[in-house]
Structure 1
Amino acid sequence: MAATVAMATAGPCGGWFSALALGVTLLKGLLVPTYHSTDFEVHRNWLAITHSLPVSQWYYEATSEWTLDYPPFFAWFEFALSHVAKYFDREMLAVRNLNYASPRTVLFQRLSVIFTDLLFIYAVRECCRCVEGKKSGKDLMEKPPFILAALLLWNFGLLIVDHIHFQYNGFLSGLMLLSIARLFQKRHLEGAFIFAVLLHFKHIYLYLAPAYGVYLLRSYCFTANKPGGSVRWSSFSWLRAAALGSIVGLVSALSLGPFVALNQLPQVLSRLFPFKRGLCHAYWAPNFWALYNTADKVLSVLGLKYGLLDPEKIPKASMTSGLVRQFQHTVLPSVTPLAALACTLVAVLPSVFCLWFKPQGPRGFLRCLVLCALSAFMFGWHVHEKAILLAILPMSLLAVESAKDAGTFLILATTGHYSLFPLLFTAPELPVKILLMLLFTVYSVSSLTALFRKERPLLGRMETLYLVGLGLVGVCCELLFPLSPWASRFPFAPLLFTSAYCALGVSYAWGRLYMSVLTGPRGNRPKRA
C-alpha cells in the first residue's frame, strides 16, 4: 500500500506530499471496521448486477430496492471491480443475496474505495502544482501548496462519507479536480474530456456543466480576445468548437451507445432522473428547501394552535416522517420539479453571465463552478446532503488564494461538514466524527489565518458566533435531546433543527461568494499579500 501511494504521489511537490497522502491512507485503513450505511449494500448489489447479468438487463433488474441508477461508465466501473471481488467472496456477486456483508465483502468494498482514491491523490497533487509558485511565510506548512494538500487530502467530509458511511466520492472528486487542474494548465481539451467522462460516471456533476460550457466557449473557442475584453465572432474558431463537440459526442457515444443500440435509452434515463422521490431526501440537505419546509411546519403548528387550519386536512408527520417520497406542504405552496429547476436556473444565471462578461481567467471559472454547485445544492430537486462536497472541495483552491475566499470557505466547510453528522448516527462513531471534525476545522482556521496574517480577520464577530453555535447544536442534538422525554415523540426534531441551522450558514456562504463575484473588479485576478 505504501509503495502504491508513493508512486501515485511522486512528483514536484516533494516528500511532504507523500507523507500527507500516506498518513490519510493509513487512517482510511483504520476505518475499515466502522459502521457502513445502506450505500454499502447499494454498491454490493451493483457489483452483483453487472457481474451476473448481461448488459441488456442492468437497468431493468429490480430484485433489490437499490436498483442501478448511475450512468453507464459507473456501471462498467462496478463491472471491473466485480472481477476482483470474486477472489474475495463470490457470494457477494449473487443478485439474490440481499444485504450480504461477509467480513471478506466488507474488506473488499473498503479496499476498493481506498485504492480508487489514488486518482484523487494524483489530482490533488496536480492542483497543488497550480499554486506551487506562490510564496508566503517562512515555513513549508504556511505555504499554499501544503495547506491546499492538507485541506483536500484530509477533507473531513470525504473521510466520513466514503470511508465510514461508504461511497466513491473520492474517486469521482479526483476526476473533477484533475479536470480543473488541466484547465488551469491551459490544457482545455484534456480538461473537457475528463469532465465529459465524469458526467457519465455520475450525473450529479451536471450541476457544474454551465461553468464548463461558458468558460470553454469563451476562453478556448474565441482565439483572439484579450483577457477581460469583449469577444468578437470573427475570432471564433469553428475548428476548436468542433474539437470540443467531438470530445463530448465521442464520450457520450461510448457511454450511451450500447443502450441506444438496445433501444433502452428511455429506461436508463428514467433510472437516472427519478422525479417521484420528492423534493427533499429523507434527511433534509441544508438548503433553501430545508428553510422552506421548516417555515411550513412552523406555520402549520401556529395555524392549528390558533384555529386557522382544519386538523382533518393536515397529513400526519408528512415531511418530517423521514421517508423518501413526494409530500404536499400544508400552508406554503407545494414545490414541483419544474419549479425547483426554474429556481436553480435563476440562481445559476448571474454567475454564468459574470463568467462571460467579467472573466477572471481560471479562477473566475472556479468561482462560477462553485456557485453553480452551490446554487444547484440550494434549489435543486431531491438534493442529497453529501452534494455539499461538490462546492467545498473546489472552494479549497480559492481559499489559499484570497483572504475573502478563505473566510467564505471556513463558513461553508464548517457548516457543510457539520450537516453530515446525522449520516453517522451509531454510538461508536460519535467520538470518531467529533474528533475528525475538530481536527479538520481547527487546522483550517489556524492554517488559513497564518497564511493571511497580514489581512483583516477572515471571519467577523457574528460569523464566528454562528460557527461556535454549531457546537451548541451538536451538544443539544447529539447528547441532550436523546435523553429527553421528547425523543420518542419527535424523533425527526434534531434532524430538522440541524438542517435548518446549517442551511442558514450555507445560504450565507452562497450569498457572500455571490457578492464577491458580482461586485468584484472586471478582469482582475484576486491577489494575496
Structure 2
Amino acid sequence: MSGKFLSLFKSSPLNDFLIPFRKAQNQWVARYIIIVFALIVRCAVGIGPYSGEKSPPMFGDFEAQRHWMEITTHLPISRWYYYDLQYWGLDYPPLTAFHSWLLGKFGSIIDSSWFALDTSRGMETSDLKSYLRITSLVSELAFYIPAVQMFTRWMGRYYSKAATIDQTIIAAAILYQPALIIIDHGHFQYNSVMLGLTLLAVVHLLYDNYCLAAIFFVLSISFKQMALYYAPIFFFYLLSICIWSPSSRSFDLQRLIAIGCTVILTLGIQIAPFVLFGGLDQLRQILLRMFPFDRGLFEDKVANFWCATNVVIKYKQVFTTDQLKKLSLVLTLLGISPSCAAIFFRTRKELLAWCLASCSMAFYLFSFQVHEKSILLPWMPITLLLNEVDPDVISMVCWFSNIALFSMWPLLKRDELIIQYFVLGVLSNWLMGNLSWIRLALRVIKLPVSYRELATPVLPHSIIWRLVIVGSYVAAFSIHLAEAFTAPPQSLPHIWVIGNVVVSFGSFVLFWLWCNYKIYIISTTNSKLKTN
C-alpha cells in the first residue's frame, strides 16, 4: 500500500465527530471520546433484558455465567468440571474457570448471597445484574478495546499510512459494530475476552513478537475453545516463519523450539492446578466438557451449511452421528484449505486478517455443533478489514456485519432484545455513513435538503454484487415484515426462522467465496510489508 491515505469515511458522522481533533499533536482525547461513547452504548444495551431472564428452570447464559462463579468460589478445583452437569455445568476451558473464580470472589465481597452455593440459583436481583454487566464492560475494556486500538495503529503506520485521527476513526467504526455489543452486553457473555486475546496475538504477529503471539493465542483458546476457528492460520503462519525464516532464509530450529516451549508452558501453567489437585482424570473431563459431540450436528437453527440444507436433506435421519462427524470434518478441512495454503506459502502480514476471516467462516459454515453466536468468530477479523483503503472492501464488510446481526435475530428475539437490535443496526450504519443514500434519494425527489458529499459507499462498484447485496437486504426486510404482521402457517411454524437461515447462509457463502478470491489476488501481488 503506497501513496497518500484516502479516508473512506469522509462525510460520515464518525468523521464529523472526530475530525476537529485532526490538528492536535496527541490524539488521546479523540481515543478517549470513542472509548467513552462505546461504553455508553454498551451500558444502554445492558439496561435491557438478558438471556433467560425470568425463564426457569434453566434460565439462560446469564445464569450460566453466574453459576460458574458460584461453583468456582465454593468448590475445590477438582470438582469444578464435575458439579451439577445437568444444570449449567462448566463447559469452557480453564481460563474461563479462573475468570469466573476471580469475578465471583470480587462479587462475594460486595454481596455473598449472589454466589451462595445452590441457594443462589436463578437469582435475578438488580444489584447482581448491574455487577455482572459491569464485569462484562471491564473485561472488554481490558482486552478487546485496547487490541482494536493497537491493531488499527499498526495498520495506519505501516500499511495504509493513515494519519492518527484516521486511525481513530477506523477504530471507532470497528468498536461500534453491533454484533459483539448486543451479545456480550445484551444477551450476556464474555466473548470480548477471547476475541481480544486473539487480536492481541495478531498484533504481536505484526510486530514479529512470535512467542508473545503464541502466549496470547493459547490464552484465547484457554478462555473459549471456539478460538480454535483461528488455530490453523496461527499454526501455519508460525510454522512458515520457522521453516523458511525471512531473516535467515533457512530453517530456524531455535525459533520453532521457542514457540513450541511457549505453547506447552502456557498450557501447562493453566492445567497444572487441575492435575495437581484432581489427577490426570481432570484432563479427560475437561476435554469431554469442552467438546460435547453427543449434542448432535446442531441444536438451534443456525445459518450454516448443515442447518440451511437440512430443509432438503434430513441429515439426522440419513446419517449416524459418527458419519456426520466425519463428513463435517472433511468439508471443514476443504473449506479452510485455501486460507491455510495462502498463509503458509505466502506468509504476509497483510493476509492475516483475510485468512483469519476465511478460515473462521469455513468453520462456521461447515463444522460440527455451531451456535448462532459463533458468527462472532469470523465477524472479528472481517471487521478488521475496515482498515483496507478500498471502498469495495468497506462496502462488503458493512454488508457482512448487517447480515451477521440479522442472522442472530431469532436468538435476540427470544431474549426480547428487539429494540436493541434495530437501534444498534441503524446507529452503526448511520455513524459510518451507510445511510447517506437517504439524502441522495431526497434530492432526487426534489426535497429541499442541503448538498453533502456521500460518505462510505453503501454498495461496491460491481453490478452483480450490488444486485446480491440489495437482494439480501430486501429479503431480510421482507422476512421482518412478514414475521411482524403475518402468523406462520400451522404446517410451517418455523418458516420465518428458516427464511432467516437461508438468506443469511447464502450471504455468508458468497462473502466467504469473495474473501478467498481476495486472498488469491493479494497473495499473487508484491508485498511491501516485511516479516522477520
- Structure 1 residue 16, shift from structure 2 partner: 1.2
**C-alpha contact (below 8 Å) 1:399/1:405 kept by paired residues:** yes
**C-alpha contact (below 8 Å) 2:296/2:321 kept by paired residues:** no
d(CA) in 2 for partners of 1:163, 1:157: 10
d(CA) in 1 for partners of 2:255, 2:160: 38
d(CA) in 1 for partners of 2:91, 2:415: 31
Amino acid at match of 2:206: F
Structure 1 unaligned regions, length at least 5: 1-10, 298-326
Show the counterpart of 1:321.
none
Show the counterpart of 2:372.
385
Amino acid at match of 1:460: S
Show the counterpart of 2:361.
374
Show the counterpart of 2:495.
493
Show the counterpart of 1:254.
269
- Structure 1 residue 276, shift from structure 2 partner: 1.1
Deviations 1:424-474 (A, max 9, x none): 215963232112112223444649999998999625344334434455445
3-state SS of 2:310 partner: helix
Q: 1:114 to 1:182 in 2, by over 3 A?
A: same
RMSD: 3.3
**C-alpha contact (below 8 Å) 2:434/2:457 kept by paired residues:** no
Show the counterpart of 1:343.
331
d(CA) in 2 for partners of 1:175, 1:269: 21
- Structure 1 residue 372, shift from structure 2 partner: 1.2
Amino acid at match of 1:28: R
Alignment of 1:286-297 (within 5 A): 286-296=303-313
**C-alpha contact (below 8 Å) 1:408/1:512 kept by paired residues:** no
1:115 aligned onto 2:138 = yes
3-state SS of 1:106 partner: helix
- Structure 1 residue 63, shift from structure 2 partner: 5.8
Amino acid at match of 2:156: E
- Structure 1 residue 105, shift from structure 2 partner: 1.2
- Structure 1 residue 69, shift from structure 2 partner: 0.5
Show the counterpart of 2:290.
272
Alignment of 1:469-488 (within 5 A): 469-481=471-483, 483-486=485-488
1:412 aligned onto 2:400 = yes
Show the counterpart of 2:35.
21
Tell me which moved more, 331-340 or 62-71.
331-340
Amino acid at match of 1:287: N
Amino acid at match of 1:405: V
d(CA) in 2 for partners of 1:237, 1:452: 51
**C-alpha contact (below 8 Å) 2:488/2:496 kept by paired residues:** no
3-state SS of 2:109 partner: coil
Q: 1:333 to 1:71 in 2, by over 3 A?
A: closer
Amino acid at match of 1:124: V
3-state SS of 1:200 partner: helix
d(CA) in 1 for partners of 2:409, 2:456: 34
1:174 aligned onto 2:196 = yes
1:130 aligned onto 2:130 = no
Q: 1:27 to 1:267 in 2, by over 3 A?
A: same
d(CA) in 1 for partners of 2:172, 2:497: 30
Q: 1:467 to 1:188 in 2, by over 3 A?
A: same
d(CA) in 2 for partners of 1:155, 1:256: 35
- Structure 1 residue 519, shift from structure 2 partner: 4.3
Amino acid at match of 2:394: A
Show the counterpart of 2:300.
282
Deviations 1:90-110 (A, max 9, x none): 222134232221111111111
- Structure 1 residue 70, shift from structure 2 partner: 0.4
**C-alpha contact (below 8 Å) 2:160/2:389 kept by paired residues:** no
d(CA) in 2 for partners of 1:352, 1:281: 29
**C-alpha contact (below 8 Å) 2:476/2:503 kept by paired residues:** no
Tell me which moved more, 514-523 or 465-474.
465-474
Show the counterpart of 1:425.
413
d(CA) in 1 for partners of 2:289, 2:453: 46
Show the counterpart of 1:82.
104
Show the counterpart of 1:31.
45
Deviations 1:306-329 (A, max 9, x none): xxxxxxxxxxxxxxxxxxxxx724
Deviations 1:257-277 (A, max 9, x none): 233342221111100000011
d(CA) in 2 for partners of 1:473, 1:335: 34
Tell me which moved more, 372-381 or 412-421.
412-421
Show the counterpart of 2:238.
216
- Structure 1 residue 514, shift from structure 2 partner: 0.7
d(CA) in 2 for partners of 1:176, 1:477: 35
**C-alpha contact (below 8 Å) 2:72/2:101 kept by paired residues:** yes
TM-score norm. by structure 2 comes to: 0.81
Q: How many residues align?
A: 477
Show the counterpart of 2:10.
none
d(CA) in 2 for partners of 1:456, 1:101: 42
Q: 1:453 to 1:35 in 2, by over 3 A?
A: closer
Alignment of 1:186-335 (within 5 A): 186-220=208-242, 222-224=244-246, 235-261=250-276, 262-263=279-280, 264-284=282-302, 286-296=303-313, 328-329=316-317
Identity of aligned residues (%): 25
3-state SS of 2:493 partner: coil
d(CA) in 2 for partners of 1:453, 1:52: 54
**C-alpha contact (below 8 Å) 2:236/2:343 kept by paired residues:** yes
3-state SS of 2:146 partner: helix
Tell me which moved more, 45-54 or 170-179.
170-179
- Structure 1 residue 187, shift from structure 2 partner: 1.8
Amino acid at match of 2:499: F
**C-alpha contact (below 8 Å) 1:89/1:104 kept by paired residues:** no
d(CA) in 1 for partners of 2:454, 2:526: 20
**C-alpha contact (below 8 Å) 1:405/1:513 kept by paired residues:** no
d(CA) in 2 for partners of 1:447, 1:236: 52
3-state SS of 1:59 partner: coil
d(CA) in 2 for partners of 1:521, 1:32: 42
Q: 1:439 to 1:221 in 2, by over 3 A?
A: same
Deviations 1:469-523 (A, max 9, x none): 4554455444433543436654322211101111000000000111222344535
